[in-house]
Chains A and B, each alone.
Chain A
Amino acid sequence: GENVEQHPSTLSVQEGDSAVIKCTYSDSASNYFPWYKQELGKGPQLIIDIRSNVGEKKDQRIAVTLNKTAKHFSLHITETQPEDSAVYFCAASQTGANNLFFGTGTRLTVIP
């Protein structure tokens, strides 16, 4: 089955700086890669996703890059704000399989 590894497990940045979270996956058949943000006491919330036919996707301060050859993808958050503090999860899936395989999470702390 798919195995998703995520690094780092914790990340602290100063407000306004950038944050980068990296994930690798094992199954070359995976072609859908979402990122979720989980705040305390809440369920994960989809913040951005990317499909295998695209190398990069941006949404305001958030961007995701995908390298299918190397089987890794990354989340980039620019101009971080205190409200970005949360646990972020990457995930991978195959078209039609529907179930997501999650990474172990990254706790991001943005220091004001």
Chain B
Amino acid sequence: EAGVAQSPRYKIIEKRQSVAFWCNPISGHATLYWYQQILGQGPKLLIQFQNNGVVDDSQLPKDRFSAERLKGVDSTLKIQPAKLEDSAVYLCASSAIQVLTGYTFGSGTRLTVV
């Protein structure tokens, strides 16, 4: 089966600019996650979707971050305006039903804010 697709792979922007990341999960996976992985740390959940509804966005900095999953398939994560501390790898993952089956992660988008 095809994996989780993410684009772009890399992005460099100046602070206060905006940026968007795209994710296409594994076909049929109802649950989609966005994680932020700062260099040298483990991934941290930003937002979780079940189909096109938000299940958990308690760790999403809503003043600058937004995410949507239209039609319950693809998802976009946006940052506006970006700060230096947003430099990280943004990982998208999907799972079939519950986490007990394990996630599949994409390769991530490495964001550098200068």
List residues of chain A with CB under 8 Å of any chain B CB.
4, 6, 32, 34, 36, 41-46, 49, 51, 89, 91, 93, 95-100, 102-105
Contacts and interface: CB of A to CB of B under 8 A. Distances in A.
Contact of A46 (B43, B98, B103): B103
Nearest to A6: B42
Given A43-B105, A44-B43, A102-B44, A32 B4 contact: no
Nearest to A42: B107
A43 B99 contact: no
Contact of A44 (B40, B100, B105): B105
A46 B106 CA distance: 12
Nearest to B100: A32
B105 A93 contact: no
B26 to A, nearest CB: 13
Which among A46, A91, A99, A105 has the greatest number of chain B C-beta atoms within 10 A? A99
Given A46-B102, A49-B102, A51-B100, A98 B42 contact: no
B104 to A, nearest CB: 8
Contacts of B104: 46
Interface in B73-114: 91, 93, 95, 98-100, 102-108
Contacts of B45: 99-100
Interface in B29-81: 31, 33, 40-45, 48, 55-56
Contacts of A45: 105
Nearest to A107: B40
Given A95-B100, A102-B44, 16 more contacts: A4-B42, A36-B105, A43-B91, A43-B105, A43-B107, A46-B102, A46-B103, A95-B98, A99-B45, A100-B103, A103-B42, A104-B40, A104-B41, A104-B42, A105-B40, A105-B41
A102 B43 contact: yes
Contact of B31 (A4, A91, A98): A98
Contact of B48 (A41, A51, A99): A99
